[in-house]
Structure 1
Amino acid sequence: MFSDILWIFFDMGSTLVDEQQAFRHRVRDAIKGTDIGEEQFYQTMISYYQQNKKGDKEAFAFYNLAKPEWHSEDEVLYAGVKECLNRLKGRYRLGIIANQLPGACKRLEQWGILQEFSLIVTSDREGVAKPDPRIFEAALQRADCPVERCVMIGDRLDNDIAPAKKLGFKTIWVKQGLNAYTSPTSQWEQADTVVDKIEQIMALFGV
């Protein structure tokens, strides 16, 4: 399926980057001073994700809590990411298509993987966010590559898989993070391939 691929595009959050501690930090900030337990909030959030809803947003609304700021400093790379990118780079061009707060390139540099990417397209720079197809189209234009020779890898069916597939990308769903609890709701959310961990990508591409 991936024998004719030239470009591999990655999402960042919950794809390359483990956001678990950042989510936990946000929840602790939100429930501070209340009688709501951290695990209680988390289970409520998961139950909404299992209903294919935006679980964090729904849980904050359910408990009538404001959503605190995001702590990017709590983000870390998933195990195997550096090796995976290094191996893939020897055979493919790598890019990023991600919804990110300002400073994404700086964070990639701090994690030691900025140099692995030939193209980085993020919402804070483009002024448009996934699932808007324009952010994917911008990446395709700059890559100067036919869409059928591109792969999109991400953790979200609604933001990563569906919009990319509609444009003609090959797609890989990485079931990491909270969106692992969701399920496809349409043909567009049916990824071409599903993996449980980002490091499994290496075997798919034979590197």
Structure 2
Amino acid sequence: MIRAVVFDVGECLVDETREYGTWADWLGVPRHTFAAVFGAVIARGRDYRETFQVFRPDFDLAEERERRAGAGKSERFGEDDLYPDVRPTPEAVRAAGLWVVAGNETVRAGGLLRGLDLPSDLIATSDGCRASKPDVAFFEHVIEAAPAEPHEILYAGDRLDNDIRPAVQAGLLTALVRRGPWGRSHQHDSDADVITTMRFDFLAKLPQIIAKFNTEGR
């Protein structure tokens, strides 16, 4: 029985296309060039931060975020960056009596999410609980906050490495959302068939999938 759903933020709720475009601008490289390298890095199963180092070998993501903030060009997202099914899906899930969490981003991103007033019972940030994925401590923080047992919590994310594997390790049910660069690449990994509870392309399908799961147990 699924009693709570946790939604990852990047590429599950928020389309990060525009944001990565602003990183290309910050680095002074064409957006299509940055996107091509970004895709190649992910397809090889490498850390996405290596993309930045292709253009600037000494690049440090945390430092550059501070520099962007100091220059008035902080990372940001708004209503236009939400996927179309983001608002109706959590609303439908909550209407069915389930608890909803949106989480794992920086404190700043958590503030942006709260400003968007998304349908949720909790906004959990990795910075806020001092644990970043794939650290299992982040998932344990969610378990402590949710009014459900681990096996009653569904974690929906787009990555096997950062989302699905550590969520499974924490004892959660998992859903691989097959959109964005990671979701489309990781769906072909052999683990995608083995360790995920469910897979789908659009969040809009989730309320019906949960209803069937809770009725049939699968």
Fold-level similarity (TM above 0.5): yes
CA deviations 1:55-107 (Å, max 9, x no partner) are 3x222222335354352146721101111111110121111331x22234432
In structure 1, which of residues 155, 158, 163 is the aligned counterpart of residue 158 of structure 2?
155
For residues 52 and 203 of structure 1, the distance between their equivalents in structure 2, rounded to whole angstroms, comes to 32
What residue in structure 1 maps to residue 32 of structure 2? 39
Could you tell me the percent identity over the aligned residues? 21
1:3-31: CA deviation from partner (whole Å, max 9, x where unpaired): x111111111111111110111111221x
Cα RMSD of the aligned pairs, angstroms, is 2.4
In terms of mean alpha carbon deviation, does 63-72 or 139-148 score higher?
63-72
Query: Is 1:140 the equivalent of 2:143?
Result: yes
> Please, what TM-score do these two structures have when normalized by structure 2?
0.80
Instruction: Mark the CA change 1:181 to 1:63 in structure 2 (over 3 Å): closer, same or farther.
Output: farther
2:165 counterpart of 1:175: no
The 5 A counterparts of 1:21-170 are 21-30=18-27, 32=28, 36-55=29-48, 57-64=49-56, 66=59, 68-69=64-65, 71-73=75-77, 76-91=81-96, 92-98=98-104, 100-113=105-118, 116-170=119-173
Q: Structure 1: which 5+ runs fail to align?
A: none
In structure 1, distance between residues paired with 2:144 and 2:138: 10
Count of residue pairs brought into register by the alignment: 196
> What letter corresponds to residue 86 of structure 1 in structure 2?
E
- TM-score after normalising by structure 1: 0.83
Cα deviation, residue 121, structure 1: 2.1
2:117 and 2:18 mapped to 1: Cα distance? 20
Q: 1:28 to 1:189 in 2, by over 3 A?
A: farther
Q: Is the 8 A contact 1:162 1:188 kept in 2?
A: no
Secondary structure at 1:182's aligned position in 2?
A: helix
Structure 2: gaps (5+ residues): 66-73, 213-218
